[in-house]
Chain A
């Protein structure tokens, strides 16, 4: 079974299906993920978490844990050397709970021991005197009079109001709807893990799976009371992210234990713990009213969106701005009134997940467009075509759409794609329910649904968003060698491959090595918001362009350039009207779902997903297709099965047994048509691609199930009882 000599070389320029350099170690099991790391004299860390969603802490007794043989440290909030709280935008989250806990699973104490089992047993011997309180679990009740205040500033994290056009606009045709989105989990397969190694200079080397090394570094340094220069972060192998690694998890904890014991300490979350260890996608409640004329042209949209932020702020204030900005969908809306709020509750903290606020409202606005189509007896694609956003129009925030907005083209492309044949399956596994043999076709109906969605690329609202790349050309026995050093997190999406492609393209040199990402080079910003190919790709392109001018010097010795790439500046939204040029760029994708539905049992089998997406410029076809497939799978998950189920502030399904996500049996064939409308503001005319597949795929699938079942289906994930109407 050996293939020596037939290896495809992982070389190539942009536009080619270049194979990833880390493919080989990954298929051999040798790629070092965070949980695979080890060091001499290493100890194991573990975390004691609150069993209560809301409680006062009257005391913590660690005596019995400390006396357990093999235990080297038991630390609480009193041992935090620096700032006692952290947070990406608001520093409201205690490193370790101080006098109260605000969600189930909140870290209270940490332990280092010689074996993971010893650490777990030590955790069990810590006695915390809790005074449980009734949890505040309803995000709307959180801002009503009489609700307990979870934070000193009150429970309203942010309200975004957008007023556009005539607030009193009226229309001949009006449709209203209320919709809800459940709490989705990123469920990356590689659990949170880190290895902290104390250094002789009093600092720390922290090897961690994260999305944004420098924002981690700033928070970790502050909490450790160390200067950033002594808080060195190194990106370990990352087993998927999808937004769930943008916030800190154990970074400060594991570093505290290492500094305290003077020994390397590794922490690895179990899957159950991982459900408590990172933020989730915000659950949403949405009320919509759409007004249109008899031809189906939108006159106004009124929307109210309530997001449950959970116990701590995370990136909620940015997510809610996105929800408001995209609430009306990729349409020409002359009059809009949108209010979106996010509040604190005693539910798990919610934050970034692929699609970041656009996912929730896409379910709302696309469901509404289908209602409007039904009211006017129009085809769902036709109603969307009549209202399609295009370049030169304005968003409800007043921002001019000055980049590509090929909504019409994407919808027409979708309409032109043939439908899969509607034949009764011969193989019983192809019926809804599959091998469970729940139907042989009786009660089974086919439905088709479409949806279109959009989202911004990179950070918004005036954030100083940039990326740094250091590129060096040297020469060894093999000839010229290009080395790229950035702090950008490869999380599986293929960033390192595309950076190497860019360097080869710019320098016409074949040998390119991407060095491990760390904080020894300037920030690359976050691997999120579909931004890294644009931003860090832009920085690499810039550095290479400067090096190209100096190539003649490379004869005498190594040459190096460090470049910082910034996208065009953006503005804050006006706090009263929500007006402002807050976005860098937009990207779009449309989806059509074909589903077979057992309308009696409420079981869905997705038959095919077709998608059209404009990507500006295809940088790596193979990697692009993988992003689209994977994004659609997460959209299907939200439509049909994925939800963290809460009961009185407690998570009921923190395991892969109970948190269901698509397997290979659930994913249908994906048919895609990629278009390339160059984005005028981006390197190479590229556009972000990672999030768009996850946005409209969910409403398209729900529309297909509505089409088959005739049920209104206003909540995702769909439950069999909703589909069967029982």
Chain B
């Protein structure tokens, strides 16, 4: 089948995809956007998180055909090339990135959280990130990153 979708503001036409392909597979293997990571492929770890029409989803659990004529934002689309967004920068500065395989998913979940709730308390942050697994950091620096991003975005108004 043929798939037409918007990814990071750009319209893509993808020819002859197999019907069982996930959105994650199409992003990674057909559109060369590996930012949605393939850690569990069953919606448990959040590493493949993207925004689908502004809803945070695990792209491994979305069939590519479900994204037909819809809009997807991946971690690659959060900032122009050679730049990083506030949340991304906060992850770098606080040491929230180690192996980094979980990082794009955490960044997407944080973007989603801060859009809904710009000044979350710790309990709210923990609940918002509870669908994402990290094996390296013990989460402490990730919490620091979210707090820092929230404070900076608040200061920027």
Interface residues of A in 401-446 (CB under 8 A from B): 427, 429-430, 435
Does B84 contact A28, Cβ atoms closer than 8 Å? yes
Contacts of A429 in B (CB 8 A): 123, 127
Closest to A238 in B: B99
A69 located at the interface, meaning its Cβ lies under 8 Å from any Cβ of chain B in the complex: no
6 pairs of A and B residues whose beta carbons are closest in the complex = A29-B35, A492-B99, A629-B138, A26-B100, A239-B101, A633-B138
Does A22 contact B100, Cβ atoms closer than 8 Å? yes
A632 located at the interface, meaning its Cβ lies under 8 Å from any Cβ of chain B in the complex: yes
Question: A270's contact among B41, B87, B102, B143, by CB below 8 Å, is which?
Answer: B41
B80 located at the interface, meaning its Cβ lies under 8 Å from any Cβ of chain A in the complex: yes
Does B98 contact A626, Cβ atoms closer than 8 Å? yes
B51 located at the interface, meaning its Cβ lies under 8 Å from any Cβ of chain A in the complex: no
Does B85 contact A655, Cβ atoms closer than 8 Å? no
A625 located at the interface, meaning its Cβ lies under 8 Å from any Cβ of chain B in the complex: yes
Q: What's the least CB distance linking B97 to chain A, in Å?
A: 5
Interface residues of B in 15-33 (CB under 8 A from A): 18, 20-21, 25, 28-29, 32-33
Bound Cα distance A621, B101 (Å): 22
Bound Cα distance A623, B37 (Å): 23
Contacts of B85 in A (CB 8 A): 1-3
Closest to B142 in A: A664
Bound Cα distance A23, B74 (Å): 17
Does B135 contact A661, Cβ atoms closer than 8 Å? yes
What are 21 pairs between A and B in contact, CB < 8 Å? Answer: A19-B95, A22-B100, A23-B100, A26-B103, A27-B97, A29-B36, A29-B76, A116-B25, A117-B20, A186-B135, A188-B101, A240-B135, A270-B41, A271-B42, A630-B138, A633-B135, A656-B45, A662-B138, A663-B129, A664-B125, A664-B130
Contacts of B25 in A (CB 8 A): 116
Does A632 contact B138, Cβ atoms closer than 8 Å? yes
Contact string against B for A residues 26-62, beta-carbon threshold 8 Å, 1 for contact and 0 otherwise: 1111111101101000000000000000000000000
A24 located at the interface, meaning its Cβ lies under 8 Å from any Cβ of chain B in the complex: yes
Contacts of B40 in A (CB 8 A): 271, 655-656
Q: What's the least CB distance linking A698 to chain B, in Å?
A: 14
A508 located at the interface, meaning its Cβ lies under 8 Å from any Cβ of chain B in the complex: no
Does A3 contact B132, Cβ atoms closer than 8 Å? no
A20 located at the interface, meaning its Cβ lies under 8 Å from any Cβ of chain B in the complex: yes
Does B98 contact A493, Cβ atoms closer than 8 Å? yes
Contacts of B39 in A (CB 8 A): 189-191, 239, 271, 656
A391 located at the interface, meaning its Cβ lies under 8 Å from any Cβ of chain B in the complex: no
B72 located at the interface, meaning its Cβ lies under 8 Å from any Cβ of chain A in the complex: no
Q: What's the least CB distance linking A562 to chain B, in Å?
A: 28
Whether A190 contacts B37 in the complex (CB less than 8 A), given A3-B85, A493-B98, A626-B98, comes out as yes
Q: What's the least CB distance linking A705 to chain B, in Å?
A: 19
Does A23 contact B91, Cβ atoms closer than 8 Å? yes
Bound Cα distance A26, B107 (Å): 11
Q: What's the least CB distance linking A116 to chain B, in Å?
A: 8
Bound Cα distance A188, B40 (Å): 10
Q: What's the least CB distance linking B116 to chain A, in Å?
A: 15
Contact string against B for A residues 655-697, beta-carbon threshold 8 Å, 1 for contact and 0 otherwise: 1110001111101011000000000000000000000000000
Contact string against A for B residues 56-86, beta-carbon threshold 8 Å, 1 for contact and 0 otherwise: 0000000000000000001110111001111
Bound Cα distance A271, B123 (Å): 30
Bound Cα distance A31, B103 (Å): 11
Question: B95's contact among A189, A241, A623, A633, by CB below 8 Å, is which?
Answer: A623
Query: Do most interface residues of chain B lie in helix, strand or loop, or is the interface mixed?
Result: loop
Other CB < 8 Å A-B pairs besides A23-B100, A28-B88, A189-B45, 9 of them?
Answer: A8-B92, A24-B92, A29-B34, A35-B34, A633-B139, A657-B42, A664-B125, A664-B130, A667-B140
A119 located at the interface, meaning its Cβ lies under 8 Å from any Cβ of chain B in the complex: no
Q: What's the least CB distance linking B40 to chain A, in Å?
A: 4
Bound Cα distance A642, B127 (Å): 21
Question: A239's contact among B99, B123, B127, B137, by CB below 8 Å, is which?
Answer: B99
Contacts of A28 in B (CB 8 A): 35, 75-76, 78-79, 84, 88
Question: B133's contact among A27, A35, A189, by CB below 8 Å, is which?
Answer: A189
Does A188 contact B99, Cβ atoms closer than 8 Å? yes
Contacts of A270 in B (CB 8 A): 41
A369 located at the interface, meaning its Cβ lies under 8 Å from any Cβ of chain B in the complex: no
Chain B residues within CB distance 8 Å of chain A = 18, 20-21, 25, 28-29, 32-42, 44-45, 47, 74-76, 78-80, 83-89, 91-95, 97-104, 107, 123, 125-127, 129-143, 153
Does A191 contact B136, Cβ atoms closer than 8 Å? no
Bound Cα distance A116, B17 (Å): 12
Bound Cα distance A634, B24 (Å): 28
Contacts of A242 in B (CB 8 A): 135
Contacts of A628 in B (CB 8 A): 138
Question: A19's contact among B42, B92, B136, by CB below 8 Å, is which?
Answer: B92
Chain A residues within CB distance 8 Å of chain B = 1-4, 6-8, 17, 19-20, 22-24, 26-33, 35-36, 38, 115-117, 186-191, 237-242, 268, 270-271, 427, 429-430, 435, 491-494, 622-623, 625-626, 628-634, 655-657, 661-665, 667, 669-670
Does B93 contact A629, Cβ atoms closer than 8 Å? no
Closest to B21 in A: A117
Contacts of A26 in B (CB 8 A): 97, 100, 103
Contacts of A271 in B (CB 8 A): 39-42
Q: What's the least CB distance linking A8 to chain B, in Å?
A: 6
Contacts of B143 in A (CB 8 A): 664
Question: A664's contact among B28, B33, B75, B132, by CB below 8 Å, is which?
Answer: B132
Does A629 contact B137, Cβ atoms closer than 8 Å? yes
Bound Cα distance A191, B100 (Å): 13
Whether A670 contacts B84 in the complex (CB less than 8 A), given A189-B99, A665-B127, comes out as no
Contacts of A664 in B (CB 8 A): 125-126, 129-130, 132, 134, 139, 142-143
Whether A36 contacts B136 in the complex (CB less than 8 A), given A23-B97, A429-B127, comes out as no
Closest to B94 in A: A622
Does B20 contact A191, Cβ atoms closer than 8 Å? no
Bound Cα distance A34, B25 (Å): 15
Bound Cα distance A20, B34 (Å): 20
Contacts of A633 in B (CB 8 A): 135, 137-139
Bound Cα distance A116, B26 (Å): 12
Bound Cα distance A334, B44 (Å): 50
Closest to A672 in B: B140
Does B98 contact A492, Cβ atoms closer than 8 Å? yes
Q: What's the least CB distance linking B30 to chain A, in Å?
A: 11
Bound Cα distance A191, B44 (Å): 14
Does A630 contact B74, Cβ atoms closer than 8 Å? no
Closest to A621 in B: B95
Contacts of B137 in A (CB 8 A): 626, 629-630, 633
Bound Cα distance A52, B109 (Å): 40
Closest to B89 in A: A3
Bound Cα distance A35, B88 (Å): 22
Does B38 contact A191, Cβ atoms closer than 8 Å? yes
Contacts of B83 in A (CB 8 A): 2-4
Bound Cα distance A7, B84 (Å): 9
Closest to B35 in A: A29
Question: B98's contact among A268, A427, A494, A669, by CB below 8 Å, is which?
Answer: A494
Contacts of B133 in A (CB 8 A): 189, 656, 661, 663
Does B79 contact A2, Cβ atoms closer than 8 Å? yes
Does B99 contact A629, Cβ atoms closer than 8 Å? no
